[in-house]
Amino acid sequence: MRRTGMMLAAAIAICAPAAAQNVDLDPSYGTTTLASGFRPDPFTVEVRAGGSIDAQSINPACKGFIASAPDLRIIFSAGALPLIISAASDADTTLVVHGPEGGWYCDDNSGANGRNPSLRFNHPQSGQYDIWIGAPAGDRLQAAELDISEAMSQ
């Protein structure tokens, strides 16, 4: 798997291709175009995390239950700053991201309060990032906030 230009925090699982997730479906919470230096930072979207698909179908290292369609799609024009994708919720959440180079990235608890996920791309590529926020159980959706940032310390 090629990861040119991307460096991730050690807690991130880089995953093999997924069969159940469909990056061709319209995202549940829309598509946003962001360029390096975007404002406001963080860019925030309120979502309902979860779905019926076990994220381990992507890779055993991925956790939680996610939907088939992405929750959010970001079309990103990279600059010199890192790209940080994280979720915040009162419930335990997980994160799955399909990067522009075709890689799958997962995180469970490396964000705020040790229960929220966060992925940091130190040298992000420009392109399409499809994002899923997972919940621990397949039968319950959880209120969550998805944050896209270049400046948040994680």
127: in domain:
yes
pLDDT tens for the chain, 154 residues long, are: 333 344 343 334 444 444 467 788 999 999 999 999 999 999 999 999 999 999 999 888 899 999 999 999 999 999 999 999 999 999 889 999 999 999 999 999 887 777 799 999 999 999 999 999 999 887 789 999 999 999 865 4
Domain that holds residue 25: 13-149
Question: 10 Å Cβ neighbour count for 149?
Answer: 21
- Separation of alpha carbons 51 and 64, rounded Å: 9
- Separation of alpha carbons 101 and 2, rounded Å: 7
Instruction: Note whether 150 and 37 are within 8 A (CB).
Output: yes
Give me the pLDDT at residue 20, please: 60
25: in domain:
yes
3: in domain:
no
CATH number, domain at 45? 2.60.120.380
- Separation of alpha carbons 28 and 47, rounded Å: 9
Distances (CA, A) of 40 to 88, 108, 129: 17, 26, 19
73: in domain:
yes
Q: Strands 31-35, 118-121: parallel, antiparallel or unpaired by DSSP?
A: unpaired
Instruction: Note whether 73 and 131 are within 8 A (CB).
Output: yes
Q: Which tens digit of pLDDT belongs to each residue from 86-103?
A: 999 998 899 999 999 999
pTM of the model: 0.84
Structural domain count of the chain: 1
44: in domain:
yes
The strand ranges marked E within the chain are 13-15, 31-35, 43-49, 53-54, 65-66, 72-77, 83-88, 94-98, 104-107, 118-121, 127-134, 142-149
For the chain, the farthest-separated pair of C-alpha atoms sits apart, in whole angstroms, at 41
